[in-house]
Each structure stands twice: as structure tokens, then as C-alpha cells.
A and B are shown apart, each in its own frame.
Chain A
């Protein structure tokens, strides 16, 4: 298939036909006018040849629509530059061997679902022994010491625990992102870690279905993990980033600032 990476379009039945399907709810009772409104809305979004293929009344004053149409837009994928988590993903055995050989001590990780968030499924998949999708969680790794504090943990308690156990990494899970509540919560956590003077000695990592690495970096975190992340991904990043920062700290004691070579 000859895909033009500078002009990516949705694939419906044939390459570059642009056909796509949307579903949404309008806060109006179902009527012929409501169907037309859904069609006009899709047209305004850049769809041509719009068909409302399904419409259903879901309450007295709400209607649900599925529309199908041809998108007139295309995307230049070669112009996209997204920061990605900088790590070579390793297996369970490789990670343990890496830590044993390069760091020589166990890595301490403190994890929690913070703020009002009670959705621990993500953090449990990464931390807990039984793991996720056939992979063990970090708790099972002999070279990791983990503390999973559970759900609705105040930032203050999470940082307190990290200080008490001298953690190398703080893992925070945020699933609830309505009205961007996670932003306030993550900001507060980062400020607290900075104000407590431990920012330079812990890795600050956030994960969740709406978390991008890009956003995490902007918030002052070291990494952000989105959907589909496996325990070994997080484990690889922590091991490699910790090894790098230990090495950097040792190097920083040498000459600085070094002049740029011409």
C-alpha cells in the first residue's frame, strides 16, 4: 500500500477516501431537525457527504447520533515531533540484571493514586505482583522495593512516604481528568517535591489514560506513561533514568561549564 506520509487521510473502504465515523450526543429531543443538526455539525467539522446512520433518543431531551462522512482534511505526519519516553525497553530478566550490574542496589519506588482519584487499576497493573497482560508487576522484581499506597492518597502523604523510605521514584496515577482536575493535583505534587528539596533525587513519573509524555514533561515530571503501558516499560525507564542520573551526578562534580567545541 502506497501511503503518502505527508497527506494522511482516514481509510474507509479504499486508501485516501477519507471516510470516517463519529458518535456524539446532542442535548435536544430526537426529531428530524435534530438529525439535520447532527448532519450540519459534522459538515462544520470538515466532513462531506454526511450520513446520519444511527439516531436514538437516550432521554427526554437527549439524542445520540452516529454519523458517517468523508473528511476533507489531511495530516502531514512527517512534521510531527513528539517527545517520547527515553528508554530502551527491556524484559523482566534484563531489567533485574541491569539494576544488579549498573546500580548495585535495590530501587525503591513509592506509588499511589492521588487526590480524589480512586481508580487504582492502572497503578495496580504496574506495581502489584500479579501484574498485567502476562507481565509481572514491579513488586515481583527482586531488584525493586515497592510501596503501593492505594487510592485517594493526599500528595502530602505520598511525598512523606517517599522521604521516609528514601524513594528513588514516585509513581502517581491519574485516571480522573474531568475539568482537568489532574493538572491541579499534579502541579501541587511537583511543587511539593520541589519545595521539600528532593526533586533532584527522585524520579517523578505519572501515568494514566489521558496522560502524554509531553504534558508530563511540561508539568515538570520525568516521564508520562499513557494507555498500553506495561510494568516492564516503567521498570526499564526507572532503571535507565536512575543509572543516568547517578552517572550525571558523578560527572557534574568534574569541570563545568564546559565550552562548546567549534
Chain B
């Protein structure tokens, strides 16, 4: 417990070498938008966000910045501790609320007034005309975030970085972001083991594999509404599909389970996957060999306990659209003074989430990096492949 260490680290600047690397990982995957989400508040989202912005700008990419929460504020709304600021270079696009723009140290040129009004005023898309810091809040729901990123793409941003809100994960949906970076850290749990376990669960859900059934092609996720449940089963007469309209899976889990011809069916859900459906399937011996398919991993809202029980009985969970988890970042410091050894945490997380790259932005250390990234920015060492 050493508060002077943690406050010194909060203001620490990441080394440039690692910042380009983190941006490279994301950009090389072809992503035009990246969501930075965290497992909790103070897990290091803003530091990660700054690193990506800096790295992308260093490679001459025009950047747009949005936030699904409120970021770059001076003090934490929960702990009251100082937080890192969001620093933007000239030419960057940013979507934020009018009132926050007024207190920015960066000079901003308003480009487009959106239709969205937040408690902090109307959301406006600005271009930074002279560098400085800013607080970013672009709307706290998926529909607004989708809208403002669309506007910034239209205005010429090649890479949009979307900061997440606290532990909320909705901004990582493939409909909002092409790639996702997950921030985890000491704040998640009191022990290293706990942090690793919680991170592993989160990564497990985020990287839920894509449904590769032959029926996948004939199903257009765009037309799937939140009320749709499609049951696919193979009987004596071949494959059968049954489409149900429900108010919500939350309301109709029992009804849906009753409609199943037997274990081994596939259920495609248009809305969320809550724990009650998994519990129902497990309790009615329908889990074995069955697959529950959701739109994307942000729709999986069952607890870890419900999911593991369902899986242990032979059930599977898959998605229509996979989230591309580009990297995980680690932060060994918690605002309550807890601190892990940076490398120990990095190694432990890297080992668990293999082969996903893991970066400690402040320490400037990386793990699980594919070879092509190791040589980036340092051609003399890596050289050309033979």
C-alpha cells in the first residue's frame, strides 16, 4: 500500500514504442473502429485509449474518438481520485457533449450537430484545431455510439476509437466496433488469482466462437429481431426449422424449452441470452448436444455459473458475429493502493488468454505478440523473412 506510487503511475506516460505497437495490433487486423472496454472502472481503459490514439497518429492515420461513458474527467465519480486525461492532436475528430467541449484545453471546431441530447448537452462532432486535453462523453447507449461513429467515418476518420464505460461491454458489439481491446487490472479482484480468473471468464465470453453450421448462410442476422427465436433440429425427415415469436427470452424461457423436440437442437436467439434459459435447458435435460446461438457475445448475459453448468452438461454457446479481441491490456495498480508486480500479472494473463496479445502500456511490456508485430518499428532487429 503506497499511495505515492499509485498517484505517480496514474500520470505516467506510456513509452512511444509500445504505443505504436498496440495501435499496430489493432490496425493490422484491418479494423476501422476499435472498442476499448474494461472489466471495471480503473482497469486502465483511458491509458489504453491514449496509447492507441498516439500510435495511430504516429503512423499518420486520421483518428476519431468517441466514448460510451464519460472519459478524461479530472476526478473519478466513484473514488474521487485523479484520472488520466485524453490528449488529442490537431486534426483528430471527437464526438462529445457541448458542455464538456467548453472546458477542453484543446481548441475545437464544431463540424456536425447530432440529434442526440445528453445530460451534458447536445452531442457534437468536433475537429481538434490545436492540441490539448478533453473530456469525452458521446452517449451512453449503443444506438447513439453507432450513430456518432458513422458520422466520424463519413467525415474522413480512418480509425475510430470508442472508449467504454466502467465495466460495460456493449460497445464491443461487432455492429459498433471491428475490433475490441479489453483492459484488466488489479482493481478487478484482491488476489492475482482472482484477477486472472475474472479476466479468463470475460475473455471466454468475448471470444465465443462463430456458429459454422450450414444453415448459417441462409440466416440473415439483419432481419432477426429481439423477439425472434429459431429452433433447428434434425429429425427422421431431415433438418427442421421452427420460428417462434416471443415477447422476450426472459419471459418465455419455459415456453421455448417446451417447444424443443429433444436435446441436440440449435436455438438461434435474436435478443439476449439470460441465465434463466440456460437453467431451464439444463434442468429439463435439453443441454446435451444443443447449441444456443446469439447475435454476438455482448448478448450473453448469463452468469458464469449458469454458463459453466450448461456447458458441463454438453451444451454449447455460439455467435452469429464474432468479436475480434485484438489485445488485452493489464494494469497492475488499483486505486485502493493494491499493487501487483507488473510482469507477474502480465505473464499470468498472457498464459491464460493465449494466443491473444497482452500489453502493459505503462511498463511497455508485451506478451503473445505474433512475429510480424515484434519487428514493427525496429526493422534492424527482425529483418525480412527468408
Contact yes or no, B251 A163, CB < 8 A: yes
Within the complex, the shortest CB–CB distance from B375 to chain A, in Å, comes to 39
Chain A residue with the shortest CB-CB distance to B300: A195
Per the bound structure, the CA–CA distance linking A2 and B104 in Å amounts to 32
Instruction: Say yes or no for B85: interface residue by CB 8 A criterion.
Output: no
Instruction: Say yes or no for B223: interface residue by CB 8 A criterion.
Output: no
Q: Answer whether A218 and B166 are a contact pair too, CB < 8 Å, given A81-B99, A192-B301, A194-B142.
A: yes
**A residues 218-253 touching B (CB-CB < 8 Å):** 218-221, 223, 244, 248, 251-252
Within the complex, the shortest CB–CB distance from B113 to chain A, in Å, comes to 5
Instruction: Say yes or no for A83: interface residue by CB 8 A criterion.
Output: yes
Contact of A260 among B113, B119, B142 (CB under 8 A): B113
Instruction: Say yes or no for A257: interface residue by CB 8 A criterion.
Output: yes
The interface-forming segment of A94-102, A116-124, A182-190 is A182-190
Contact yes or no, B115 A218, CB < 8 A: no
Per the bound structure, the CA–CA distance linking A70 and B150 in Å amounts to 54
Contact yes or no, A220 B226, CB < 8 A: no
Q: Answer whether A187 and B272 are a contact pair too, CB < 8 Å, given A180-B78, A218-B70, A257-B151.
A: no
Per the bound structure, the CA–CA distance linking A248 and B118 in Å amounts to 12
Contact yes or no, A195 B112, CB < 8 A: no
Measured as residues with beta carbon below 8 angstroms from the partner, the interface class of chain B is 35 or more
Q: Mark A7-46, 1 if CB is under 8 A from B, else 0.
A: 0000000000000000000000000000000000000000
The interface residues of chain A lying within 8 Å CB-to-CB of B298 are 191, 194-195
Contact yes or no, A251 B115, CB < 8 A: yes
Q: Answer whether A215 and B168 are a contact pair too, CB < 8 Å, given A163-B248, A197-B226, A220-B69.
A: no
Instruction: Say yes or no for A55: interface residue by CB 8 A criterion.
Output: no
Contact yes or no, A257 B113, CB < 8 A: yes
Q: Answer whether A196 and B250 are a contact pair too, CB < 8 Å, given A156-B274, A252-B115, A257-B113.
A: yes
Within the complex, the shortest CB–CB distance from B185 to chain A, in Å, comes to 15
Within the complex, the shortest CB–CB distance from A6 to chain B, in Å, comes to 17
Per the bound structure, the CA–CA distance linking A108 and B41 in Å amounts to 33
Instruction: Say yes or no for B105: interface residue by CB 8 A criterion.
Output: no
The interface residues of chain B lying within 8 Å CB-to-CB of A196 are 226, 248, 250, 271-272
Instruction: Say yes or no for A199: interface residue by CB 8 A criterion.
Output: yes
**A residues 158-202 touching B (CB-CB < 8 Å):** 159-160, 163-164, 180, 183-184, 187-188, 190-192, 194-200
The interface residues of chain B lying within 8 Å CB-to-CB of A49 are none
Contact yes or no, B166 A195, CB < 8 A: no
Given contacts A83-B119, A190-B168, A258-B115, 17 further A-B contacts (CB under 8 A): A85-B119, A180-B78, A191-B168, A191-B170, A192-B301, A195-B301, A196-B271, A197-B271, A212-B77, A215-B78, A217-B70, A217-B119, A220-B140, A252-B115, A257-B114, A258-B113, A259-B112
List 6 A-B pairs, Cβ < 8 Å: A184-B167, A187-B166, A195-B299, A196-B248, A218-B77, A260-B124
